[in-house]
């Protein structure tokens, strides 16, 4: 770790010298971050400001390599750190962890960030631009339980009304099915390839859509507790006929919008020069 300490003029803290290096390494939930001391102390009265504004580094938890340790969500901390750099919130489109990030902002005592992450609901109970992006699993009532639950209920109703669907109430969305296969090609590439059967057909998409389309033929053993509104890539079908999967998707109103396939030569037979190829193919279906 860099041993160059920060001057009191740079830190804005009274005293001759600040007992922290200019570049600080953090271990947040197993994720390592390297940032400037000035970034960590950029928001007065925040938890990180309190940690690194003290006169001594004694008492701060460290990992086995001497990095300062914070036992919080290491993935979401990147957004906390981004906010502390310029006090602006920039999230990816359709960010699914908004509720959890709001809890992290509360823990790090960043009230302005908490406000930016809160669902925006007008006086008429209409949603703002980002109201539907909050994670329904992560929203938790605060001190005023009744008022918060009422607001969340209005937000959920408004989000539901904005989701497009067909006249029979079926929701729009994508489902991707994929499979791995292998085939053998002889010395003459024009000869017929010897295909092996499809071992497993995998299903990716929203849990509720996958269950609606494939029903009892869907094997959920690899991801049994996934909530209906979350996404998964761990389901697979109990049958191995692609045409059967296509029929079920077509019956549910889906149509294919894209497909792709890749192939690699695994190895060649030493005596016959036959090449064993493996492939992975995906089909993307959409229902309006």
Comparing 9-18, 42-51, 183-192, the range with the smallest average pLDDT is: 9-18
pLDDT band at 79 (very low <50, low <70, confident <90, very high): very high
Q: Is the pLDDT of residue 33 over 60?
A: yes
Q: What is the mean pLDDT of residues 154-172?
A: 54
What confidence score (pLDDT) does residue 187 get?
A: 61
**Comparison of pLDDT for 283 and 120, the residue scoring more:** 283
pLDDT in tens, 225-266: 888 889 998 899 998 888 999 999 999 999 999 999 887 776
CB of 223 closer than 8 Å to CB of 232: yes
Pairing relation of β-strands 31-36 and 68-70? Answer: unpaired
pLDDT digits (tens, 9 = 90+) for 99-147: 999 999 999 999 999 999 988 654 444 444 444 444 444 444 444 544 5
Task: Give 99's contacts (C-beta < 8 A, 6+ positions apart).
Answer: 134, 135, 136, 137, 138, 139, 140
Query: Could you tell me the domains of the chain?
Result: 23-117 (3.30.710.10), 173-187+195-287 (no CATH)
Rounded average pLDDT over 6-31: 71
């Amino acid at each position: 770790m860099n041993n160059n300490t920060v001057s009191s003029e740079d830190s804005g803290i009274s005293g001759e010298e600040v007992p922290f290096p200019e570049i600080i390494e953090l271990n947040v939930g197993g994720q390592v971050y390297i940032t400037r001391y000035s970034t960590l102390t950029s928001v007065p009265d925040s938890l990180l400001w309190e940690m690194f504004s003290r006169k001594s580094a004694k008492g701060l938890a460290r990992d086995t390599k001497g990095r300062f340790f914070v036992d919080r969500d290491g993935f979401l901390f990147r957004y906390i750190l981004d906010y502390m750099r310029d006090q602006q919130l920039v999230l990816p489109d359709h960010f699914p962890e908004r509720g959890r990030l709001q809890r992290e902002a509360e823990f790090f005592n960043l009230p302005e960030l908490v406000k930016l992450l809160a669902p925006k609901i007008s006086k008429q109970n209409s949603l703002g631009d980002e109201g539907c992006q909050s994670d329904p699993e992560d929203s938790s009532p605060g001190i005023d339980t009744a008022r918060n639950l009422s607001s969340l209920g209005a937000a959920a109703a408004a989000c539901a009304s904005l989701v497009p669907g067909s006249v029979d109430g079926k929701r729009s969305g994508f489902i991707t099915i994929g499979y791995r296969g292998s085939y053998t090609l002889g010395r003459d590439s024009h000869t017929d390839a010897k295909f092996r059967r499809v071992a497993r057909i995998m299903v990716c998409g929203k849990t509720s859509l996958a269950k609606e389309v494939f029903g009892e033929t869907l094997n959920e053993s690899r991801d049994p507790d996934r909530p209906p509104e979350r996404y998964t890539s761990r389901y697979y079908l109990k049958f191995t006929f692609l045409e059967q999967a296509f029929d079920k998707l077509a019956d549910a109103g889906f149509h294919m919008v894209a497909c792709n396939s890749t192939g690699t030569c695994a190895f060649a037979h030493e005596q016959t020069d036959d090449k064993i190829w493996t492939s992975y193919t995906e089909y993307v279906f959409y229902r309006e």
